[in-house]
Structure formats: C-alpha cells, structure tokens
Amino acid sequence: MKTKKYFGTDGIRGRVGEQVINPEFVLKLGWAVGRVLNEKFGESTVLIGKDTRISGYLLESVLEAGLSSAGVNAWMLGPMPTPAVAYLTRTFRAQAGIEISASHNPYYDNGIKFFSSAGSKLSSDIETAIEEKMHEPMKLVEAAKLGKAKRIDDAPGRYIEFCKSTLSVKNSLVGLKIVLDCANGATYHVAPAVFRELGASVIEIGVDPDGFNINDHCGSTYPKYLSKVVVAEKADLGIAFDGDGDRVVMVDHKGEVVDGDELLFIIAKYGFSAGILQGGIVGTVMSNLGLENGLNEIGIGFIRTQVGDKYVIEALRENNWLLGGESSGHIAHLGVTTTGDGIISALQVLNAICYRGETLHKLKSEMTKYPQSMINVSCKTPKSFGDHPKINESLTEMSKHLGKNGRILLRPSGTEPVIRVMVEGKDEALIAKVAEELAKVVGKVVESA
C-alpha cells in the first residue's frame, strides 16, 4: 500500500495558510477530487458542509471552484455537523460529501473531511487516486461541462428529523432538563432543536459562533464550564459536542464528566440488556482498561484498533458488529448511522436512561475506570520518533515499574503535531510520575533531533 502524503486518519488537516490548508492547494484538491469522481461515476455531485471557523468561507469557495473546473456539481449545505454531511450525502444520492472542519482543533486550523456516496469514509484506493491526480497539471473542462453550484436551504431540518428518529418511539425527553454545549461549532443551530422537539427543557451554551471561538474553553474538549452550568441550573445532565459534532461527552447531575469510554459502556450494556446489541464492541488502544473489564464481566466481547474512528469502523465491518468508539467521545453505531455522530450518540445514551429508569450518574458508576495520565509532547514530525533507542529503553524501564496492573502507550497523533504519552494503571500517583518521566525523555529526544 502506498504511503499517502496528504491524507491522515481523518482527511486532510493543517494550519490555515500553511502547507495544505491554503487556497492554491484546496483549489487543486477540489479539481483532483472532481476528476477522480467523474472517471469513476460519470457526471457527479458533491455536497459541501462546514463548521463555523472563519476560514470556512474561503475554503468553501475555492473547493466549489475546483470541483466546478473538473465538471462536478457542488451543493452547499452551509454550517452543518460532519455526520450530517455523511447522512445527507446518502439521502441526496450524491457521489461524495465534504466537510470543511478541523474538528476539535482551534479556529486557526482547518481541514477537509471526505465521505463516499454510502456516507462512509473514503476508501484508501480513492484517497490514493486523489493524491495521484494532485501531481497532474490542472486542466479545466470545456465551458459547457463546468459544474454548477447551489445551496440546500432545508439541510438543517432534514438532519434534525433524522436525529429525532433515532430515539425510540417508546421514549420521551419530557421532564428532563438538559444543558447543551455546542462548542460554538457546527451543531449550534441543530442540536438544541433536536432535544427540544423531543420534549426536553434545554439550556443552550456555546451557540454563538463568531468564526474564532469554536472549541475555545467550551465543548467536549473543555467540559468544565458545562459542569458548572449543570450544577448551577440543577439540570439532569449536560451534553457537550466538539466543533464539528462528531464527538460527545456528557456531564451527570453532580457535574461529573462522563467520557467516551463510559458512554460506550452505557450504550453497550443497554443494547445487551434490550437484546438489540449485535456482536461485540470495538475500542482503540487508548480505551480505558475499565471499559474492557466491564464489558467482559457482562459477557460482551471487546477488541482494540489503532486510534481513529476510521479504524474502529473498519473493524466493526470486518466483524459484522455495530458499536464502537473512542475515549474522546467519537462513537459509531452502525445500526443507526454510518459514522460517528455526537447528537445520535447522546440520544442512544438517553435511550439507555429511559430504558433503565436510572440517572446518568448511576449508569456511569457501573463501570470502574482505571486512572489514566496523558501528556502531549510537541513535535513537528511525530511519526519519525516511533522507534528511537532512548525512548524504547525508557519504555522498557517504565513498564517494569507498572507491572501487570498498568500499561503504557506512546503514539504520534494523527491530527496534531504531537506525540501522545499515555500511562494507565491502578495507582494514580505512580502513573502520573511514569507519564511525566517518559514525556521528559521524549521531549529531550525531540529537542536534540
């Protein structure tokens, strides 16, 4: 398999104005995507959505121009969650969908995520074909064959109705007081409507995007403020999405954060009890050991993949299973939709709450988490340090300190220029010390390179 130059684990991502996220590159990318689609399908249409960061206006325009120059139609959705693009690509029978987003990253980053006509991530073969086209000279089709562009004004309403349909008809959110944190991102105008129309009393925060405040001390990567609001408002629970709406974390009525591993456990146990769970659960190398132990105790199988929802979904399909996810709150339920969806994942948790008649706090307490410590070490080329002798020597030594009651994971991030150092075990003080010492070793190696 060829090593791809531009595509990472979740499309193409970078800082605006540098390397790949600039007008010239994205224009050529749109053209390359259009050429590949036309060669594969003939006349093609691509849906384009975006989150709320200011660079989305620019990238949306040049992507549309690139696609048009290759003879492909571009249907613009405006600000929409990433999973909404996946869903609408299927329902409109488009040949591909694109979301302009850097997910949980700050506003000065952006990215391009792609979906196939089936609403799933592009195959590796298609990504490779697009990269190969990037090396060819850009040539416009004749004027009569240029692609057309239009806006889909009712896209939010279509997606809202789809999300609502995933809550069991037996359940209602009437009587629930919910705080929603939309991270000033792509869910700001759809998530409140979903939960309110299902009967919940909704308090909204993070719903005032200005192009710069996406993920800024809000959303799933910063649930502290949500916790405070839930407690102050005496709400039943809180729900936080990331900037593009494919991740979710929740907060119980006590203000305690419920992360992706705990949410996955709650959904899995509900599905098992209700007799609707098919097969086992897929997690990643970052999934908490408590999740694996908790699932095994109730007879649910569990396997791990490398980090990235792409790999989780691949493993689900290979095993003919339906449910998997990541600690970050990226949960995929293939029995409901084709990709990770924060809103739909939250609704699956609410299905469990209604079915069990228990609070989120009670359901969370049924899984015992192992303490984890994670430190990010900045590194321009993190993949180049995967097998360094000094790092390997330190890994071996630190593993001896943990013994059988812990584990260490060292990996380059697929979305950020960092090396992630994760240590997990029963002794919280010990794992914090091990993580700190290992991160120092990694940092010195990086600095001396």
- State which amino acid sits at residue 397: E
Q: Which amino acid, 20? A: V
User: Amino acid identity of 214?
Assistant: I
In 3-state terms, what secondary structure has residue 178? strand
Backbone angles phi, psi at 388, to 5 degrees: -85, 135
d(CA 111, CA 101): 5
Please confirm, yes or no, whether 373 is among the known catalytic residues: no
First-last CA distance in the chain: 29
* Backbone angles phi and psi of 179, in degrees to 5: -100, 125
Q: Which of 243, 47, 66, 62 is CA-nearest to residue 155? A: 47
How far is the C-alpha of 438 from the C-alpha of 326, rounded, in Å? 24
Spatial distance between the Cα atoms of 27 and 138, rounded to a whole number of angstroms: 10
Catalytic residue among 55, 103, 117, 120: 103
The Cα–Cα gap between 368 and 362 comes to: 12
SS3 of 267, please? helix
Within 10 angstroms of residue 418's Cβ, the number of other Cβ atoms is 17
What is the rounded distance in angstroms from the CA atom of residue 437 to the CA atom of residue 430?
11
Backbone angles phi, psi at 299, to 5 degrees: 85, 25
Rounded Cα distance between 331 and 339, Å, is: 8
Q: State the Cα–Cα distance between residues 77 and 47, nearest whole angstrom.
A: 7
What percent of the chain is helix, strand and coil (3-state, nearest 5)? 40, 20, 40
Q: Are 89 and 97 in contact (CB under 8 A)?
A: yes
Integer Cα distance of 237 and 229 in angstroms: 10
List CB contacts of 81: < 8 A, sequence separation 6 or more: 49, 51, 159, 186, 187, 190, 241, 244, 245, 246, 341, 342, 343
Q: Which of 137, 52, 63, 139 is nearest to 101 (CA)?
A: 52
Q: Which residues are catalytic?
A: 103
